[in-house]
Amino acid sequence: MALNGDMCVVTGACGFLGRRLIRLLLEEESLSEIRLVDKQIKLEDVQSFKDCRGDTRVRAYEGDIRDSAFLRRACRGASTVFHVASIIDVDGSVEFSELHGVNVKGTQLLLEACIEENVSSFIYTSTIEVLGPNPSGEPIYNGTEETQYKCSLKFPYSKTKKEAEERSLKANGELLPDGTRLATCALRPMYIYGEGCRFLLGHMADGVRNRNVLYRMSLKEAKVNPVYVGNAAMAHLQAARALKDPNKRNVVGGRFYFISDNTPPVSYSDFNHVMMSPLGFSIQDKLPMPLGLLYVLCFLLEVVCTILRPFVRLVPPLNRHLLTMLNTPFTFSYKRAQAELGYAPQYSWQEARKSTIEWLAGQLPAVREKLET
C-alpha cells in the first residue's frame, strides 16, 4: 500500500542510511512532506534532494533527540516515523551515559511524542548486534527470526540497541488520543555497505597506510552476509507500507525482521578485499597472530585502559567483543521480511558491488592526499 499523501519523519536524516531512505521515499512515493530530523543539518543536506523531491515538501528539523518538546514538534501531523538515528560505537569510545541517552532515552521520548501526536506507524532501525554473536562465538548459519540463540549482551552499544528495540516493540498497540493505535516494528539489518559507508573508507585508509595491503582481522571461514544500503532502505519503505495496510498491520506490528539481500556470504575482511581489489589493494593472508593470542592481547589492553580510566580515557584499537564479531560465522535469511513485508532486494549483488566500487574509486584520491599531508 502506497504512502501517497502522507507526512513522514526520518530521524538520523543526514546519516548514511537516512539519506538513502529519504531519496527512496521521494522517488517512490508522492508524500505531502518529509521531515529531516538530525542534530545538525546543513543547507546542502536539504538541497541535495532537489532533483527528486517533486511536489513533496522537505523540511529540516535540527535538534537533540533527547529533547521531548522538539520531538513533539517534529512529529506533529506525521503518519509515519522512521527512527534511524543512533550512536554507532564499535570500539567502546563513547561513554555509556551518552550511548544510553541517545539510543535508549531518545527512542523512548520519540515513542512518547508519536503517541501524543497520533502518529500511526513507527519503524525502528535496529541491528544484528542485538542478537550477538555471544562471547563464546557460537555461529549462526542462515538464521531466522525463530532461531534460538543464548546471548547475554555485555557490549554497551549492543545493550542500548537491544533495549531501544524492546521498547519500540512493546509500544505496539498503544492507544492514541484520537482513538486509533500505534503500530511498530523493528528491522535488524546486517552490516550495511554502499556509497557513503564510513567503515569502508576507514579500512581503505588503513590499507593505503599499509602500502595498499588490507589488514586481515577475520578468519576466512567467519562468513557474514552484509546488506547493500539501497536494499536496507527499501526494507524500511516496505515496512511502512505494510504497517499502513489494514490486512498486514496486525501481522507486522510488534515484530522484528532480519534484513539481508543476495550479497554472497564472506568474512568482513574478505568483503573489504572484494570491494577494493579492483582498486589495486591486496590483503594479508593470515591474522597478525593466532586468534587465541589476539583475545589475550585484547584482554590485557582492556585491563590497562580500565586501570588508567580514573586518570585518562584510553580506547584500545581492538576489543574482545569486536574480535568475536569479526570472527564468528553469522548469517541470516530475509525470508520473513519477504513474506510479511513484501520486501525484495531492489539491487542485485552485481549492481551493489559496482556502485560501491565506483564510489570508493572516487574517494581514493582524496584519502591518499589526506594521508600524505
Cell matching residue 177: 488520543
* Known catalytic residue at 343: no
Q: How far is CA 42 from the centre of its chain?
A: 22
Cell matching residue 201: 573508507
CB atoms within 10 A of CB 317: 8
Contact (CB, 8 A) for 208 and 162: no
* Cα distance between residue 134 and residue 323, in whole Å: 11
Q: Helix %, strand %, coil % for the chain, to 5?
A: 45, 15, 40
Secondary structure (H, E, C), 340-361: HHCCCCCCCHHHHHHHHHHHHH
* Cis amide bond preceding 133, omega within 30: yes
- Give the active site residue among 157, 191, 193, 228: 157
Q: Which residues are part of the catalytic machinery?
A: 157
